[in-house]
Structure 1
């Protein structure tokens, strides 16, 4: 008689942590829809959700592209590129994000405006191009630029680890078949590295959603900034920051579950 291991019951297989989170979500949603105070605060903060998502998505896409270029430079056979890329990563990772936000907003942004006006001076003098001003450099774009630079250093290390995880023998085999460096990267290295890269890349995206709250220090009208303004005007600090926490938790936990699902899907396709 063949022994078959007993399958755990449905209750034993249920993720209790997820049930607890769903319970908190239901309670939070019930409080917002059933309480006029919470509902008013939610309406006041709802516009900040779009700003938070826009800053996060724009900065993450840009940081991913820059990070990929930095990672390719770090794994390049040209020493100068490796040294420059390593210098960039080590310097950027050593500066706190909040400090870098202030530096970009109040130091780099005016310098960029002056550099633009200097380069475009002939066209500005002819009246073909208007002169740029520091006030015209929106703080939202300054925040996106700062988050892009900060996270590109971390994402570059994720890409580098994924690329270096691909077996050297496969790269040599692809090169021996006559594939160029670009085709070798596109057809052999990157598809395999993607399975290693995706989970930590998704975690970085979730972290950026949380770190986007730092842009409120620049006055950007995100969830945190609107929450501070609402609490300061109504003195409902407990209720306001409950809603702020609820909004961030809804976004981050939803993204975390999506990352877990993608990871499991890729593992099934890889036959793990």
Structure 2
């Protein structure tokens, strides 16, 4: 891949460790999204602030994973010093202290930033694990936040609500992708109903990542091959979902700003919302229907 990887006016760009090292002291705000604050305390990249992705969502109604109100987002992002006119970079890792990293923290954070109005977001391809493997510098020093006035601007065009999703999911020009591990797609899982939403195809978020590093994308030709196998073509509306709308942010960002698909949506309610409706069926086994 040539870095930074961007497409036209792409709001999300993938950059490599060399690019980041060259830009550490430039006009760039860096956020560490490792799974536990103790991972950050133990080691982080120079000038990186800690970003706790878990404060972004809360229980609303019978859905435990809805975004907090946008005015609260504005306050929190302002406290973190996020500015619309300054580029942002996110990275995560397995967590040298917690060992809990699944790789999705940086895509969840990046999606959330563009969803609430930021237009210049970077993702460190390979995360801090690749950075460490290359023996680049780490620190225990915490930079000082300069608070900002961030005004969230909600971009609802990136997500799809339950009602619209249910109405269009079976249309010929729509393809629905389940980003969860295949064992959850096909059978028993954490949710009250087994299997997947009828019509959904399985494309695990992890399948497009390097198996030795969940933060590192596979080569583009390998990703395209996985997509072509599932007949996910650019002329269709692509709707991604997972358990709570977090894991699927990886698919959303890749389709939207890496493969340059024109119409990509994230069903944020995902299987958690779907299975709370008594009349909604699910399908077990390897086939969509």
TM class, shorter-length: under 0.3
Greater fraction helix: 1
* TM-score, normalising length: structure 1: 0.26
* TM-score, normalising length: structure 2: 0.25
Greater fraction strand: 2
